[in-house]
Structure formats: structure tokens, C-alpha cells
Amino acid sequence: MLKTLSLTSALVLLSQGLAFGAEIQLRTKCQAQGAVVTVGDVAEIRAADPQEARLLASLELFPAPAPGQQRILRVRELQDLLAARPIDLSELRVSGSSQVVVVGAGEPAGPDLSRPTSPSAVRRAERLVREAVLRHLREQVPGDDSWTVQVALSDAQARSIPADGRAVAVRGGRPPWTGTQQFELAIDSPTQPTRLEISLEVSRRLPVVVASVPLTAGAILRPGDLKLLPAAEEAGRAEGFHRLDDVVGWELVRSVTAGTVLQSSLVRAPILIRRGEVVTVYARSPGLRVRITARARQDGGLGELIAVESLVDRKVYMARVSGTQEVEVYARAVQARSAPPAGLLENPAGTLAQDQKGSWK
């Protein structure tokens, strides 16, 4: 239990209209620690300022139930009780359970709900909630098994999920059922039924392109080599292709077996230029188009940058593959001159020929 501030200190801070940038994480069940139930009894307080957290925890809500009795505090009722205080609660966030069972001092409160939940227990609860939401979505859209649900539970929420996931019923959500969806979890607990309102991200897994037959490295992919299959949940996170047109005509980097999901690391654009080939280099800038020849220093597919070597002075520069035995560079715009520099001649094709020193613009 957090140390309670003195009444005088609390009144001073309340009179200043203190704004709490804090989170109230409601427990599912608690036991009153005194004659009056406080915020610290029903919730875990998370705040950057320890003084604000202590003050918030010390706020009195209502008289404690009599021994052997209990009272259910719902989120809306808690918000109404806090709104009656002279505090700016615009930045106060309420999370956790949608209701708290408050028991009297003489009745055991069950497990210690203030203890942190282990990571493995949180993961188990998230898995059970995910499975329950997926069952709900399949009921709403029969035959569609492509859903992906991202679940992140707080400790308080995870504690309220029973080990038997079948005890969790799901309502809510709305068409088209994707994006941020609001769901209500109805938890059939032997001690006290609980309802949780949670916000989850829902998306659909797109179909993926897979090899329909075994293929060897260097093969150019054809429509008959490929097919679309629904993505498995674990494969949906891989970097794959979702349309046949995205990979038809591309080249395999290494051999694959039938059923392999084609990812970007397995394919490349088909080779249009081989190392050592003489290629045509086009240089373009506004109002100017120059064409020369060079030798490729690397293999290259469409759109790839490769190194090419000048046939005149053997200087190496980078150019982008634009076609079969064709590359291009983009030249910087030059100022117009009254006459071309000495040594430059117009060739019959209408392009600028190299001068005696082998340079070109």
C-alpha cells in the first residue's frame, strides 16, 4: 500500500487544481485497507511524479463494505467520483479491468492482485484472448480465416483471464472488422464474472506467391511455376509477394522446392547486361541527349546500378540498367554556348561525338 499523504498536504495540493499525467490501472478484486476505500485500494497508480502518485492513491472514494460484504465499482462510477474532486483529470488515463470487486476487511480478497504478473502469464493470457477474438471474427465472417489480431494486455487485464480460454466470450467490433476495433470480453469466473473492454488492432493476411513446382537457380519465373496460397500466420510477417505479376519474368537466385514462399531475397530482375559486354550509355539532361559506348564491369538487371568503364580513358562510373545492353546516367544541365568547344563535332546521328581527349558532355 502506498504511503498516504496527510490530510493537510492533500488539501493544499487539491486546492491548486493539480493535473495528473498518470495511469489508473484497475484491479479485478481488492480488499479495503481501512474504513474508507481509496484509489490506491482499487488500482495500481503509474505516474512520473511520485508525489502525484501518492496523492492520487490517497484520494477517498466511499466507505468500505462491512465485513463479509462486497461492492462492485465500475469504471464509469470511478470516473464520476474522481470528477467530483477539484482536480484536472484531462490527462488521467483509466485502464485495466472494467470493474473492481471491493470486499470488506473481514473477507479474504483472494490472490494478491498488487503483485506483478509474470511475462509468461501475460503471454498466455494474450494468446487466449487472441484465440477468443479470432473465433468471434470467424463467426462474423464465415469462411474467412485470414485474420491477424495484435493483443497487448496490462498486468491487471492478464490476471483476469482464466487459464481456460473457453471461459472468455467476445462481443463487439464492426465491419469491415479491420483496423482499431473495440471488443468486450465477458469472463466467466467462478468467483465473480468480469467484463473487460479492450482495443485491438485487426488486419488480414494477404495471400502469398509460392512455387508450384521445384525450381532451380537461374530459372526465369513463368505463370505456370507459381500459385497463390493463403498465408499462414507466421508466414504473414515475412517479406513476400502477394500478386503473380510481381514476380513473373524475374530470375531465381537459388533453387527452391514446391510450396516455398517467394520472398524478395530469392528473386532478382532478369540479367540484361553481362560483365564484359559493350553497352550503350545514354546521358540525359534537359535539352540534351548524349550517347557513347562503354564496357560493363558487372552483371545487371533492369533498374540496377552497375559499374561501367569508358572505352577511351578506362575511367569507371556508375550507370543504371535501362534495357538490354543499355544503361543511362543523368547529366547535370549545362549553360547554352554560342558554339561547341573546340574538338566537338556533330555526328550523323545527331549526337555529340567525343573530342580527341575522350571527354563528352
Q: Does 293 lie in the same domain as 244? A: no
Supply 249's cell numbers.
Answer: 519474368
Instruction: List beta partners, residue 25.
Output: 44, 95
As separate numbers, helices (DSSP H) first and strands (DSSP E) second, the chain gives: 6, 23
State the Cα–Cα distance between residues 195 and 252, nearest whole angstrom: 53
Q: Does residue 6 lie in a domain region?
A: no
Band of residue 214 on the pLDDT scale cut at 50, 70, 90: very high
- For residue 121, what is the enclosing H or E element? helix 119-140
What percent of the chain is modeled with pLDDT above 70?
76
Q: Does 99 lie in the same domain as 24? A: yes
Q: Find, among 266, 262, 300, the residue nearest to 281 by Cα.
A: 300
Written as one string, the DSSP assignment of 123-165 is: HHHHHHHHHHHHHHHHHHSTT---EEEE----HHHHHTS-S-G
Average pLDDT of 99-118?
64
For residue 316, the model assigns a pLDDT of 92
Q: Which residue has the higher pLDDT, 91 or 63?
A: 63
State the Cα–Cα distance between residues 256 and 215, nearest whole angstrom: 5
Written as one string, the DSSP assignment of 282-319 is: EEEETTEEEEEEEEESS-EETT-EEEEEETTT--EEEE
The owner of cell 500500500 is 1
Q: Find, among 315, 320, 319, the residue nearest to 359 by Cα.
A: 315
Q: Does 257 lie in the same domain as 175? A: no
Q: Does residue 318 lie in a domain region?
A: yes
Q: Does 172 lie in the same domain as 225? A: no
Q: Find, among 91, 80, 236, 101, the residue nearest to 159 by Cα.
A: 101
Of the ranges 85-89, 205-209, 320-324, which one carries the lowest mean pLDDT score? Answer: 85-89
pLDDT tens digits, 127-179: 888 888 888 888 888 877 778 888 888 777 777 777 665 578 888 888 888 88
Instruction: List beta partners, residue 200.
Output: 181
Q: Does 145 lie in the same domain as 91? A: no
**φ, ψ for residue 38 (rounded to 5)?**
-110, 170
CATH number of the domain bearing residue 243:
3.90.1210.10
State the Cα–Cα distance between residues 239 and 229, nearest whole angstrom: 15
State the Cα–Cα distance between residues 337 and 359, nearest whole angstrom: 17
Q: Does residue 113 lie in a domain region?
A: no
Q: Widest CA span of the chain, in angstroms?
A: 107
Of 103, 127, 146, which marks where a domain is finished? 103
116-to-100, 155, 157, 182 alpha-carbon distances in Å: 17, 6, 11, 26
pLDDT tens digits, 69-108: 778 888 888 888 888 776 666 777 888 778 888 887 764 5
CATH number of the domain bearing residue 38:
2.60.480.10
Q: Does 314 lie in the same domain as 262? A: no
Q: By residue range, what is the domain housing residue 224? A: 208-268
The total domain count for the chain is 4
Rg, Å, the chain Cα set? 35
Beta carbons of 246 and 269 less than 8 angstroms apart = no
CB atoms within 10 A of CB 262: 24
Of the ranges 110-114, 244-248, 305-309, 331-335, which one carries the lowest mean pLDDT score? Answer: 110-114
Q: Does 245 lie in the same domain as 214? A: yes
State in Å, rounded, how far the first CA of the chain is from the last one: 80
Of 74, 103, 132, which marks where a domain is finished? 103
Q: Does 314 lie in the same domain as 284? A: yes
Q: Does 296 lie in the same domain as 249? A: no
Of the ranges 89-103, 221-235, 309-323, 331-345, which one carries the lowest mean pLDDT score? Answer: 331-345
- Answer yes or no: pTM beyond 0.85: no
Q: Does residue 3 lie in a domain region?
A: no
CATH number of the domain bearing residue 361:
2.30.30.760
Of the ranges 144-148, 200-204, 303-307, 327-331, which one carries the lowest mean pLDDT score? Answer: 144-148
Q: Does 314 lie in the same domain as 298? A: yes
State the Cα–Cα distance between residues 135 and 129, nearest whole angstrom: 10
Q: Does 320 lie in the same domain as 285? A: yes
Q: Does residue 173 lie in a domain region?
A: yes
Q: Does residue 359 lie in a domain region?
A: yes
Q: Does residue 108 lie in a domain region?
A: no
Q: Does residue 177 lie in a domain region?
A: yes
Q: Does 342 lie in the same domain as 288? A: yes
CB atoms within 10 A of CB 193: 12
Burial degree of 298 (CB within 10 A; 0-12, 13-18, 19+): middle
